[in-house]
Chains A and B, each alone.
Chain A
Amino acid sequence: MFRPIDTPLARASVTLHVQGRPITARVGDTLAMALLNAGVVPFRQTPVSGQARAPLCLMGVCFDCLVEVDGQQNVQSCMVEVCEGMQVRLPIGARRAEDSV
C-alpha cells in the first residue's frame, strides 16, 4: 500500500522489532512511516469497541497511531523517530494500569 519515495541522499537503515518481528526502516523515518512501509496495519484495536485503527493525520493531531514503544504505552508513532533496536508492541484495548518503564 505504501512505497517510499526515492531521494537523492541515501539513508542508512535501522532494524526495529514489531511484536518481536524485525523490520527495516530508514534513519530519519518516523515510527508511523516505518510501520506503514513494513505493512503493519492496523496499528491497534480501540479500547471500547475493539475497532482497528491506523494513522490518519501523521502530524500529531489524531492520536490514532498510538503504539507501545520500549515499554512506554500509547505513544504517538508519528511523533517519534525510529532508532536501532526499538521494541514496538501494538496495543489491543485500553492501556495497562501500570507504571511505564
Chain B
Amino acid sequence: MKPHAELDTLVIGGGVVGMSLAYGLARAGERVRLLDEGDDAFRAARGNFGLVWVQGKGLDRPAYARWTLEAARQWPAFAQELAQHSGVDVELSQIGGLIMCMDEAELAQRAEGLAAVRQQLGQPYPFDVLDLKQLRALSPLVGPEVAGAVFCPLDGHVSPLRLLRALFQSFQNLGGELCAGVAVDAIAQRNGAFYVRTGGTEHVAAKVVLAAGLGNRALAPLVGLEAPVKPVRGQILVTERVQPFLRHPSLHVRQTGEGVVQIGDSKEDVGLDDGTTLAQLARISERAMRCFPLLKTVNIVRTWGALRVMSPDGFPIYQASTACPGAFVVTCHSGITLASQHAGPLADWIRGGQQPADISGFNAERFHV
C-alpha cells in the first residue's frame, strides 16, 4: 500500500515555467507545494524580454510550431483568468509583432523561413512581408535604414514581472503552498512517494516536477531523467519612460505599458556569468537606434544580463520518468509564450492525463542519436 502523501505534487522551481505548471495544477484542484530557491539563483524569469512570440518558431519542427501557435491562441483567455485570480493585469498586448530587417536579403530570408514553416504546418499561419512604407504605416517612427519587416498578427508581449507576480498570487489564492529560499539537497522515491529534502525539511508528495531551469541539469539524474541544458546569456537595456510610440513589439525593441522602452538582446556562451559588457550593450543600442532614431537621445536607466535555459537543439524537454514514475522534467527557453500551454495541457498530462501529441517528441533521448 502506498504511504499517504499530504501533497499531490511538489514543483521545484519558481520561475515562469514552474509557476505556470504549479498554477495549472492548483487550479485543477491538486494540493501543490512549490519549492523556490533564493535570489542568488539564476532567474531567467526575472530577466527576460516578455515576448509572446510565434513567428519563426518551429522551422523543421512542426509539432513545436503547433504547440507555440496554440499557446499564443490561448494567451488572451489565460491573461484574463490570471487577472481574475490575482487582480494583476499582465499587460498582454497581442496585436501582432515585427521582425525588422536591415537589408533586403535578410528580409527575403526571413520570409522564406516563415513560408517553410507555413508549408510544414498545413494550417493557417498568417504573416505579411512589409517594405519600409508599409512598415511605417504600422510603426511610424521606424528609421530610414530599415529595409522592411515581417509582421505576424499572432505575436505580442506581456510584462514578464507582472506575469510572474500574477502566477504567484493566483497559485497562493488557489491554496498552493509556497516555500521560498530553499534549495533541494536530495530526492528519493520510496513506496510510490517522493521525499524531497531541503535543508532540514522533508517534503513528501506523490509526484515531483522539476522546473528548475539551469538547476534541472543536476536534479534530473536524481529521478532517472536528464536535462542537458546550458546557459546562453542575453543582455537587455531599459530606458526612461517615453510617451507611447511603439504599439507593435519586435524581437529587439518593445515599449512596456508604462512607457519604458526595453531593448535586447545578445546570445552569448559565457557560462554562468550573468553580467553585462559594454561591447554588447553598445551593439544592441546601435541596432535599436537604427530601427528607431528617436532613441538616440533617450536616457538608459538600467541594463542587465540574464541566462537563457537552452537545450542542445533549442526545443523544450518534457519527459516523464520511467525509472521513477511520477517524476517529470520540464524545461524550455520560451517560458512566457508557452505559459498558457504549461498551465493547461501540460498540467493535465502531469495530473495523469494523455500526453499532448505535439510534445511527445520532446524527450531527452533525442540528444543521443
Whether a CB of chain B sits under 8 angstroms from the CB of A77 is: no
Whether a CB of chain B sits under 8 angstroms from the CB of A21 is: no
Distance to closest chain A CB from B291 (angstroms)? 14
- Contact residues of A between 9 and 65, Cβ < 8 Å to B: 47-48, 63
Distance to closest chain B CB from A95 (angstroms)? 5
**Residues A97 and B240 in contact in the complex (CB < 8 Å), given A47-B258, A74-B299:** no
Bound CA–CA A50/B322 (angstroms): 57
Q: Which of B243, B258, B296 contacts A97 (CB 8 A)?
A: B243
Q: Which of B259, B297, B301 contacts A94 (CB 8 A)?
A: B259
Q: Could you mark each residue 90-101 of chain A with 1 if its beta carbon is under 8 Å from any beta carbon of chain B, else 0?
A: 000111111110
Provide the residues of chain B in CB contact with A97, threshold 8 Å. Answer: 141, 242-245, 294
B297 closest partner in A (C-beta): A100
Bound CA–CA A73/B299 (angstroms): 9
B241→A99 contact, CB < 8 A? no
B241→A95 contact, CB < 8 A? yes
**Residues A72 and B297 in contact in the complex (CB < 8 Å), given A47-B259, A97-B141:** yes
Provide the residues of chain B in CB contact with A93, threshold 8 Å. Answer: 243
- Contact residues of B between 329 and 353, Cβ < 8 Å to A: none
A75 closest partner in B (C-beta): B299
Provide the residues of chain B in CB contact with A100, threshold 8 Å. Answer: 297
Distance to closest chain B CB from A48 (angstroms)? 5
Q: Could you mark each residue 75-95 of chain A with 1 if its beta carbon is under 8 Å from any beta carbon of chain B, else 0?
A: 000000000000000000111
Chain B residues within 8 Å of chain A by Cβ, number: 16
Bound CA–CA A20/B241 (angstroms): 25
B299→A98 contact, CB < 8 A? no
A74→B240 contact, CB < 8 A? yes
Whether a CB of chain A sits under 8 angstroms from the CB of B228 is: no
Distance to closest chain B CB from A30 (angstroms)? 18
Distance to closest chain A CB from B247 (angstroms)? 12
Most central of A72, A74, A96 by chain B CB within 10 Å: A74
Provide the residues of chain A in CB contact with B293, threshold 8 Å. Answer: 99
Bound CA–CA A97/B296 (angstroms): 11
Provide the residues of chain A in CB contact with B242, threshold 8 Å. Answer: 94-97
Bound CA–CA A95/B240 (angstroms): 8
Distance to closest chain A CB from B282 (angstroms)? 20
B243→A95 contact, CB < 8 A? yes
Q: Could you mark each residue 226-252 of chain B with 1 if its beta carbon is under 8 Å from any beta carbon of chain A, else 0?
A: 000000000000001111110000000
Whether a CB of chain A sits under 8 angstroms from the CB of B270 is: no
A63→B301 contact, CB < 8 A? yes
A95→B298 contact, CB < 8 A? yes
A99→B296 contact, CB < 8 A? yes
Bound CA–CA A74/B294 (angstroms): 14
**Residues A99 and B297 in contact in the complex (CB < 8 Å), given A48-B241, A94-B241:** yes
Bound CA–CA A97/B299 (angstroms): 12
Provide the residues of chain A in CB contact with B244, threshold 8 Å. Answer: 97
Provide the residues of chain A in CB contact with B296, threshold 8 Å. Answer: 99
Bound CA–CA A98/B140 (angstroms): 11
Provide the residues of chain B in CB contact with A74, threshold 8 Å. Answer: 240, 299
A contact residues vs B (CB 8 Å cutoff): 47-48, 63, 72-74, 93-100
B contact residues vs A (CB 8 Å cutoff): 141, 240-245, 258-259, 293-294, 296-299, 301
Beyond A48-B241, A63-B301, A96-B242, 20 extra complex contacts between A and B, CB < 8 Å: A47-B241, A48-B258, A48-B259, A72-B297, A74-B240, A74-B299, A93-B243, A94-B240, A94-B242, A94-B259, A95-B242, A95-B243, A95-B298, A96-B243, A97-B141, A97-B243, A97-B294, A99-B296, A99-B297, A100-B297
4 tightest CB-CB pairs across the interface, nearest first? A97-B245, A47-B241, A94-B241, A100-B297
Can you sample 6 A-B contacts with CB below 8 Å?
A48-B258, A95-B242, A97-B141, A97-B294, A99-B293, A99-B297
